[in-house]
Structure 1
Amino acid sequence: MEDDSTDSYISRVRAIFLELGIPADLPDTRGLQLWREPERLVDVMSPGAAKPFQLGPEAAAAWTILQTAATDDGVELRLLSGFRGLDFQAQLIRRQLAQSRTLEVVLKILAPPGYSEHHSGCAVDVGTPGCPGLDEDFENTAAFAWLSEHAGRFGFTLSFPRGNRYGYIYEPWHWCYRIR
């Protein structure tokens, strides 16, 4: 039996789905996992960022070690995004819809609220100087090459490679810490 906080979270997700017109069966159809928001988040600073990003404690510690190792190898990694809550994810989708994008297109570039790895506090969007943020060209950088070779040692994996089973666009910038 699920507790009240789980029921409340699922109710919020369902309400947002209804408001945005997201089909209730989409998570099952695409094999998406429901991600709960962590009870605790910590601030993580990144070079060039005006404010800290938030991650779960284990992911933050692993990211800090990974980022230091990359720096030691002459590669600069910058956080572009960390934790995102349900409401912020819904707002991102609303903005895309307001730009006359179809829901089908939007849900290839953004996870539906409740199903974004960013909700877990373990996902990071990564950038590097000289490359536009959240751009497929990131795959052509030394930063991506370094992550591809070394991120696994720190518990991070590329979540959405080309042709991923979830139906999302290729996101070479999106990496997720898998709690060990």
Structure 2
Amino acid sequence: MKPNTADQRYLTTLLDQLGIDPDEISRRALPLYRQARRLAPVGLGTDHRDKVLTPRAAQAWLKMREAAAADGVVLSVVSAFRSYDYQALLIRQKLERGRTLAEILAVNAPPGCSEHHTGRALDIGTPGCPLLDEVFEQTEAYAWLRKHAGDCGFSLSYPRGNPHGYVYEPWHWRFGREA
């Protein structure tokens, strides 16, 4: 679902504050997402903060995590729902650390373009693996997800060579056909 008019105006302001050219969104064919309004808790993330998803995505995640555990695989939530403001904060922090906008936008969506806004996207980790690292694809957790995530309604969002220009993210999975 696309953002309403008020959210679109707010997103335009955020993009301007961050120095992100709105044409970047159309050039990369990035979809715009509305922020989820109804959210349900899914437990603590790897940062020991509460994580939330939409009720249906939360139910599916908990079912998937339980199924993986039954097979001896531990799946952890690294990141779940993110507001527009939090997405902007992530970008600001990276800019303050000296990263270029081009580097940042290869791994972080501009505010309004993150599947995390929908409350139906997760970044997933597993013990013993660096977080948000391509090495995740070499884990038992990733192999399990490739085989079983679809049974729970999840799919990999950003495979190698994805059409949106994001780096390969074997840890990023979304619930539902489209976020």
Give the structure-2-normalised TM-score. 0.94
Q: Which runs of 5+ in 1 are unaligned?
A: none
Question: In the alignment, does 2:107 pair up with 1:109?
Answer: yes
Following superposition of structure 1 onto structure 2, how do residues 51-66 of structure 1 map, counting pairs within 5 Å? 51-66=49-64
Aligned partner of 1:177 in structure 2 is 175
CA distance in 1, matches of 2:34, 2:4: 8
SS in 2 for 1:31: coil
Aligned partner of 2:26 in structure 1 is 28
Following superposition of structure 1 onto structure 2, how do residues 9-158 of structure 1 map, counting pairs within 5 Å? 9-46=7-44, 50-158=48-156
Maintained 8 Å contact 1:59/1:179: no
* Deviation at residue 24 of structure 1 after TM alignment: 1.1
Maintained 8 Å contact 2:46/2:78: no
Count of residue correspondences: 177
Encode CA deviations 1:19-61: one digit per residue, 9 max, x unaligned: 1111111221111111111120011115866332010111001
Aligned-residue CA RMSD (Å): 1.7
CA distance in 2, matches of 1:47, 1:98: 25
Maintained 8 Å contact 1:83/1:123: yes
SS in 2 for 1:45: strand
**Aligned partner of 2:60: which letter?**
A
SS in 2 for 1:172: strand
Give the structure-1-normalised TM-score. 0.93
**Aligned partner of 2:31: which letter?**
Q
Query: Given the superposition, is the C-alpha separation of residues 48 and 119 from structure 1 closer, same or farther in structure 2, using an over 3 Å criterion?
Result: closer
Maintained 8 Å contact 2:45/2:78: no
SS in 2 for 1:144: helix
Q: Which runs of 5+ in 2 are unaligned?
A: none
More strand per residue: 1 or 2?
A: 2
